[in-house]
Amino acid sequence: MNFVALQGAVAQGVLWGIMVLGVYITYRLLNISDLTVDGSFALGGCVCATLIINFGMNPILALVIAALAGMAAGAATGILHTVFEIPAILAGILTQISLWSVNLRVMGGKSNLPLLKTETLISGVGDKLGITQAQSAMIVGVIVAILIVWGLYWFFGTELGSALRATGNNELMIRALGVDTNRMKLIALMLANGLVALSGALVCQNQKYADINMGRGAIVIGLAAIVIGEVLFSKAINFGLKLSSVVVGAVVYFLIRAIVLDFGLNTNDMNLFTALFVAAALSIPVFMAKYHAKHDYSETVEEDEA
């Protein structure tokens, strides 16, 4: 595997790592499987591309508006779940399906929008520093990821952030203390999908096009990155390290994917590989826990018999 391909995989991993931070908020902190992700990731890319191409907007401002669009998508899922009491997983599916039509509308009925002749934040940084697209994407991605991890670390240390984390840990208890758990869920879904859409917008600016299918499989990639990060940082106690671990997990995932493709795996089989990888990663800890429990029980029985 050549060095250029390696740089591209790392750059892609860092940019997608911002999306994984959003998945981490809903999946780990809130215990909700939010399937809005696939749609809100594409929404961020579509909104960003449309604003830059059709309105000549500054790429940084386009990123901000793309993130706000993602927050709106998260709010839609949150309202379906909290106000209409639709199960979270079904609410996410409904929003994801509707976002397919929304994304097409945003791009004027086109399935993709190219940014080949348009300057983006990543290409602009590359031109100013005289570096490659992949190196520029790594620099921008790392800076944005650090700022977001720092911001999330600060936010979840506040009273509101602590209440949000407590909602995921023990909803009944925190509700008994007078916290509006529906409001916490709504805020979490908005924050998570805002990060997902921001990631989609950054990936759009890096790859120089937005596509209606660019978010397909995003939730699976997010789960894979979270599992990898938790394995690599299994002894991490600090919440900031746990947040950082998911970004590192995304980088490792894309490196693994690049290596697998370099060995000759058909790109059409990539989704199957990812699904099997996530299934194995989620299953192994369960089997290990059962094995250790059985082993400890056997030792206890032997000691009692002795």
Mean pLDDT of 248-264: 90
Q: Hey, which residues does 209 pair with through a beta bridge?
A: 114
The predicted-structure confidence for 137-154, as pLDDT tens digits, reads as follows 999 999 999 999 999 999
pLDDT in tens, 173-209: 999 999 999 999 999 999 999 999 999 999 999 999 9
Q: Is residue 70 part of a domain?
A: yes
> Which 3 state secondary structure label does DSSP give 210?
strand
Residue 86 lies in a domain: yes
Question: Which position has the token pair 């999946």?
Answer: 27
Q: Does some domain include residue 275? A: no
Number of domains in the chain: 1
Element (H, E) at 24: helix 3-24
From residue 213, how far is each of 56, 73, 101, 130 by CA, in Å? 24, 17, 12, 32
User: What is the enclosing helix (H) or strand (E) of 114?
Assistant: strand 112-114
In the structure encoding, which two tokens stand for residue 8, read together? 């591209």
Residue 282 is assigned to a structural domain of this protein: no
By mean pLDDT, which of 70-84, 120-134, 141-155, 229-243 is the weakest?
229-243
Residue 197 lies in a domain: yes
Kindly report the pTM of this predicted structure: 0.94
Residue 161: give the domain boundaries.
Answer: 3-216
In a domain, 246, yes or no: no
What would the pLDDT profile of 70-96 be if each residue is shown by its tens digit?
A: 999 999 999 999 999 999 999 999 999
Is 285 domain-assigned?
no
In a domain, 242, yes or no: no
Give the C-alpha separation, 170 to 104, whole Å: 39
